[in-house]
């Protein structure tokens, strides 16, 4: 992820890659050489004091986020933190408290919000003033993650580490506050197979979350109204189907999502706007915390 972020920011005119720090110095040196980053530092304190940077990207393993954020929040740069900000809700709340204590300017890299597919649906759906049925399909494979070397604590909280990518779509497309949450199929951590939850919002919108654990299935999002239906499956592609037609039409896709890791090039532009104090579309730490809290409600852990 660090390399994907660097590639996106390096493409923006006027952006200077001032420095890099990693707990693995050799890895940082390799990235610095590849992207002509000016300096490699041995601590976060050194990184800020040596660069006086306007923006720092925090892309570290889940179990390191808390400590790295605490060190980074001491300085007045804008922080863009990779999700999840905390390996579970308790960890995230501690990080949020630290951000508040330092009055840190923190945004979260929920890059699927910045996919051109997501943005096309957001723009198109504004023209339809009707209640929405938002259906999210999730598939998770923690067994494979554990075999690939993911820490046990992260795998035990895999819904925060990975399901956040799709659960965050409720925050994007469902309006109002959650007034009711019904567990159709409850999460069973001793035998993780299926999860199904129905959400009812104050706006009249309804959300349905369906997850398959340790089995085959897609990641998919659909938004239904009486007039139109939008679907993202895979998430990088969006279609729209108008009432009266049986043929979904593909919405346009920005070339950035082919040239860079999807969403990151647009996200980098928005981060620069945030640094300049301009209007932008980056989700705040509070936005990310709303999704972390929703994960907690869905999985009751």
CATH 3.30.360.10 location in the chain: 113-251+285-299
d(CA 169, CA 243): 23
- Structural class in CATH, domain 113-251+285-299: alpha beta
Give the pLDDT score at 19.
98
d(CA 281, CA 284): 9
Cis check for the bond before 163: say yes or no (omega within 30 of 0).
no
- Residues with Cβ within 8 Å of residue 78, at least 6 apart in sequence: 54, 55, 56, 105, 106, 107, 271, 274, 275
CATH 3.40.50.720 location in the chain: 2-112
Give the pLDDT score at 145.
96
Mean pLDDT over the full length of the chain: 97
pTM (two decimals): 0.96
pLDDT in tens, 23-33: 999 999 999 99
- Structural class in CATH, domain 2-112: alpha beta
- Rounded percentage of the chain residues whose pLDDT exceeds 70: 100
pLDDT in tens, 172-189: 999 999 999 999 999 999
């Amino acid at each position: 992820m660090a390399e994907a972020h660097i590639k996106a920011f390096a493409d923006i005119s006027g952006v200077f890659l001032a420095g890099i720090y990693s707990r693995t110095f050799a890895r940082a040196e390799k990235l610095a050489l590849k992207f002509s980053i000016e300096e490699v530092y041995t601590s976060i304190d050194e990184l800020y004091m040596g660069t006086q940077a306007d923006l720092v990207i925090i892309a570290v393993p889940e179990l390191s986020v808390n400590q790295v954020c605490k060190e980074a929040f001491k300085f007045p740069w804008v922080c863009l933190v990779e999700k999840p900000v905390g390996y579970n809700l308790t960890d995230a709340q501690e990080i949020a408290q630290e951000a508040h204590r330092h009055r840190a300017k923190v945004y979260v890299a929920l890059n699927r919000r910045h996919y051109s597919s997501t943005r096309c649906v957001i723009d198109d759906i504004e023209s339809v003033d009707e209640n929405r049925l938002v259906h999210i399909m999730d598939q998770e494979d923690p067994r494979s993650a554990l075999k690939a070397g993911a820490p046990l604590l992260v795998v035990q909280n895999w819904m925060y580490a990975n399901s956040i990518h799709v659960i965050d779509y409720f925050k994007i497309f469902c309006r109002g506050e959650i007034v009711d949450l019904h567990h159709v199929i409850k999460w069973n951590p001793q035998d993780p197979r299926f999860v199904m939850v129905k959400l009812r919002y104050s706006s009249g919108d309804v959300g349905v979350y369906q997850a398959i654990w340790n089995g085959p299935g897609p990641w998919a999002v659909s938004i239904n109204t009486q007039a139109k239906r939008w679907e993202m499956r895979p998430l990088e592609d969006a279609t729209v189907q108008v009432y009266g037609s049986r043929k979904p039409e593909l919405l346009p896709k920005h070339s950035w999502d082919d040239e860079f890791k999807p969403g990151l090039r647009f996200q980098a532009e928005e981060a620069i706007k945030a640094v300049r104090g301009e209007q932008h579309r980056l989700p705040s730490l509070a936005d990310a915390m709303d999704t972390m809290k929703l994960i907690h409600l869905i999985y009751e852990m």
